[in-house]
Amino acid sequence: MASDVDFPGHIGIFPMEFRFLPEVMAIERTSFKTPATESLWANELSNPISVNLVAVIDPGESQEIVGYVNFWVVADEVQCNQIAVAGHFRHRGVACRLLGAMMEKADREGMKAATLEVRASNKEAIGLYNKFGFVIQGRRQGYYAEDGEDALLMGAPIWRP
Domain count of the fold of the chain? 1
| Beta strands per DSSP E along the chain | 11-15, 50-57, 64-74, 77-85, 113-119, 135-140, 151-157
Pick from 6-10, 83-87, 120-124, 157-161: least confident: 6-10
Predicted pLDDT of residue 160: 59
Predicted pLDDT of residue 9: 58
CA distances from 42 to 23, 46, 121 (A): 13, 7, 29
Planar angle of CA 91, 97, 98, nearest 5 degrees: 105
Predicted pLDDT of residue 154: 98
Comparing CA positions, the residue from 111, 93, 87 lying closest to residue 12 is 93
Residues 111 and 30: their CA atoms lie apart, in Å, by 32
44-62 burial: b if 16+ Cβ within 10 Å, else e = bbeeeebbbbbbbbeeeee
Residues 13 and 146: their CA atoms lie apart, in Å, by 31
Comparing CA positions, the residue from 86, 57, 65, 60 lying closest to residue 23 is 65
Range of the domain at 73: 4-157
**pTM of full prediction above 0.75:** yes
> What percentage of the chain exceeds 90 in pLDDT?
80
Predicted pLDDT of residue 61: 61
Identify the CATH number of the domain in which residue 11 sits: 3.40.630.30
Q: Write the pLDDT tens digit of every residue in 11-67.
A: 889 999 999 999 999 999 999 988 999 999 999 999 999 999 999 987 666 678 999
Average pLDDT, whole number, for the chain?
90
Predicted pLDDT of residue 159: 75
Q: Write the pLDDT tens digit of every residue in 2-11.
A: 344 345 557 8
